[in-house]
């Protein structure tokens, strides 16, 4: 089998390589692609050195599966070429997610919608992914009607330059103030919370907030789901956390909710301690805590969920999908 990894030198691409080593046989042939600046770099996969190629149409060959994590424009420009050469493409960008004919897949929730004809498969937004892993078993039992998620997104969701900015700002210590001009974001992020993640859209919500709306509806197959989202960027390296108030058509039972979540593969409920981004960094599981029945209605469940945005929020889900596709 031949696997191509596009964006192999990035944060998500590096994690994809590591996970492929765990999920696939050692005899898989890998081709690694990145930008011109990374051409010629050597990356070791299964104890073999592989030279990174520049992503261009002349370098594209036949692959069984291609995993893309190189941004929307590169996905738009090159994914069709990989598909034309016979490959399944699993894309981590947002560019194809809302296309009706493209499956938007969270492994563990709806991977069975993938068929041999599903040559292009989209990976959802990293924050949405952690949240729907919790909502799916609850929806199946109680029927979800609306939700109000408030997300606190780590800087690694913006890439390596954002991480470098956080590290540089942290080193400044008390010298860092609101007037600092060399930040990656609109404001300094170290020791700070910026009440915006992503870019503002015409309706005043950010694109990250609107992903909560559209992607949750598609993944959970609830086209009329009411979503009132808010997202902030926080001075944390890795791990997106979300407080969510979910309203169901039926009364929720806390003990039953805990059992439903603990029995759902990929989710853990922490009752005795509070899971934080530090706890979840490097973990495959989505962690949940602070389950509370609503104060105004027994049909409301309030909870906290946190997940590694580079793993289940991106690379892990992509590789889990790839493993599923291998068996088709």
The CATH number of residue 185's host domain is 3.30.360.10
The confidence score (pLDDT) of residue 287 equals 98
The helix or strand, by DSSP H or E, that contains position 293, with its residue range, turns out to be strand 286-293
- The residue-averaged pLDDT of 124-152 equals 98
Please, are residues 188 and 180 in contact by the beta-carbon 8 Å criterion? yes
Q: Judge residue 169's burial from the number of C-beta atoms within 10 Å of its C-beta, 0-12 exposed, 13-18 middle, 19 or more buried.
A: buried
Active-site choice (126, 139, 244, 257): 126
Q: For residues 98 and 6, give the distance between their C-alpha atoms in angstroms, rounded to a whole number.
A: 21
Q: Indicate if 142 and 119 belong to the same structural domain.
A: no
Q: Indicate if 290 and 319 belong to the same structural domain.
A: no
Q: Indicate if 44 and 191 belong to the same structural domain.
A: no
Q: Which long-range contacts (CB under 8 A, 24 or more apart) does 191-198 make?
A: 191/235, 192/234, 192/235, 193/152, 193/232, 193/233, 193/234, 193/235, 194/232, 194/233, 194/234, 195/232, 196/231, 196/232, 196/233, 197/151, 197/153, 197/157, 197/231, 197/232, 197/233, 198/231
The confidence score (pLDDT) of residue 243 equals 98
Listing DSSP states for 133-187 in one string gives HHHHHHHHHH-EEEEEEEEEE-GGGG-HHHHHHHHHHHHTGGG--TT----SSSS
Q: Indicate if 29 and 89 belong to the same structural domain.
A: yes
Confidence category of residue 133, pLDDT binned at 50, 70, 90: very high
Confidence category of residue 178, pLDDT binned at 50, 70, 90: very high
Q: Indicate if 116 and 175 belong to the same structural domain.
A: no
Domain of residue 45 covers 2-123+315-326
Active-site choice (20, 139, 240, 257): 240
Q: Indicate if 15 and 103 belong to the same structural domain.
A: yes
Q: Indicate if 119 and 146 belong to the same structural domain.
A: no
Q: Indicate if 274 and 185 belong to the same structural domain.
A: yes
The CATH number of residue 320's host domain is 3.40.50.720
- The residue-averaged pLDDT of 160-186 equals 97
The confidence score (pLDDT) of residue 269 equals 98
Which is nearest to 149 in space by CA: 253, 240, 282? 240
Please compute, for residue 246, the number of CA atoms within 13 A of its CA located in the half-sphere on the CB side.
28
The confidence score (pLDDT) of residue 145 equals 98
The confidence score (pLDDT) of residue 149 equals 98
The confidence score (pLDDT) of residue 93 equals 97
| pLDDT tens track for 283-302 | 999 999 999 999 999 999 99
The overall average pLDDT reported for the chain is 98
- The residue-averaged pLDDT of 194-221 equals 98
The confidence score (pLDDT) of residue 26 equals 97
H-only helix segments in the chain: 11-23, 72-84, 126-142, 160-171, 207-220, 254-262, 277-280, 316-326
Domain total of the chain: 2
| pLDDT tens track for 227-286 | 999 999 999 999 999 999 999 999 999 999 999 999 999 999 999 999 999 999 999 999
Q: Indicate if 263 and 152 belong to the same structural domain.
A: yes
Known active-site residue 139: no
| pLDDT tens track for 15-56 | 999 999 999 999 999 999 999 999 999 999 999 999 999 999
The helix or strand, by DSSP H or E, that contains position 202, with its residue range, turns out to be none
| Cα dihedral value 285, 289, 295, 301, nearest 10 | 20
The confidence score (pLDDT) of residue 192 equals 98
Q: Indicate if 92 and 39 belong to the same structural domain.
A: yes
Q: Which long-range contacts (CB under 8 A, 24 or more apart) does 112-118 make?
A: 114/321, 114/324, 114/325, 114/328, 115/328, 116/328, 118/88
The confidence score (pLDDT) of residue 159 equals 96
Known active-site residue 126: yes
Please compute, for residue 177, the number of CA atoms within 13 A of its CA located in the half-sphere on the CB side.
2
Q: For residues 42 and 52, give the distance between their C-alpha atoms in angstroms, rounded to a whole number.
A: 6
Percent of the chain with pLDDT over 90: 100
Query: 229-264 as b/e, with b when 16 or more CB fall inside 10 Å?
Result: bbbebbbbbbbbbbebbbbbeeebeeeebeebbeeb
Q: Indicate if 139 and 101 belong to the same structural domain.
A: no
Which residues are CB-neighbours of 144 under 8 A, at least 6 positions away? 135, 138, 220, 222, 225, 246, 247, 248, 249
Q: For residues 18 and 54, give the distance between their C-alpha atoms in angstroms, rounded to a whole number.
A: 21
β-strand partners of 248: 144
| pLDDT tens track for 202-213 | 999 999 999 999
């Amino acid at each position: 089998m031949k696997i191509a990894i596009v964006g192999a030198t990035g944060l998500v691409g590096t994690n994809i390589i590591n996970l492929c080593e765990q999920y696939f046989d050692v005899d898989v042939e890998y081709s690694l692609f990145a930008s011109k600046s990374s051409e010629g770099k050597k990356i070791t996969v299964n104890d073999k050195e592989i030279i990174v190629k520049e992503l261009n149409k002349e370098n594209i060959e036949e692959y069984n599966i291609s995993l893309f994590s190189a941004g929307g424009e590169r996905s738009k420009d090159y994914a069709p070429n990989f598909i034309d050469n016979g490959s399944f493409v699993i894309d981590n960008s947002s560019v194809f997610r809302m296309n009706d004919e493209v499956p938007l897949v969270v492994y563990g929730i709806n991977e069975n919608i993938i068929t041999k004809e599903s040559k292009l498969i989209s990976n959802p937004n990293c924050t949405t992914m952690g949240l729907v892993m919790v909502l799916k078993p609850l929806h199946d039992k109680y029927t979800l009607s609306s939700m109000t998620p408030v997300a606190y997104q780590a800087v690694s969701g913006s890439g390596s330059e954002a991480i470098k900015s956080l590290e540089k700002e942290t080193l400044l210590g008390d010298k860092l103030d609101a007037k600092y001009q060399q930040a990656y974001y609109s404001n300094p992020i170290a020791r700070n919370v910026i009440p915006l993640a992503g870019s503002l859209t015409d309706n005043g919500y950010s694109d990250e907030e609107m992903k909560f709306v559209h992607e949750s509806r598609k993944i959970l197959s609830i086209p009329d789901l009411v979503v009132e989202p808010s997202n902030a960027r926080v001075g944390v390296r890795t791990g997106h956390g979300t407080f969510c108030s979910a309203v169901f058509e039926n009364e929720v039972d806390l003990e039953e909710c805990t059992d439903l979540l603990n029995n759902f593969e990929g989710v853990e409920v922490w009752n005795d301690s509070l899971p934080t981004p530090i706890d979840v960094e490097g973990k495959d599981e989505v962690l949940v805590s602070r389950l509370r029945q609503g104060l105004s209605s027994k049909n409301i469940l309030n909870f906290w969920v946190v997940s590694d945005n580079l793993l289940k929020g991106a690379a892990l889900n992509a590789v889990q999908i790839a493993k599923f596709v291998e068996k088709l």
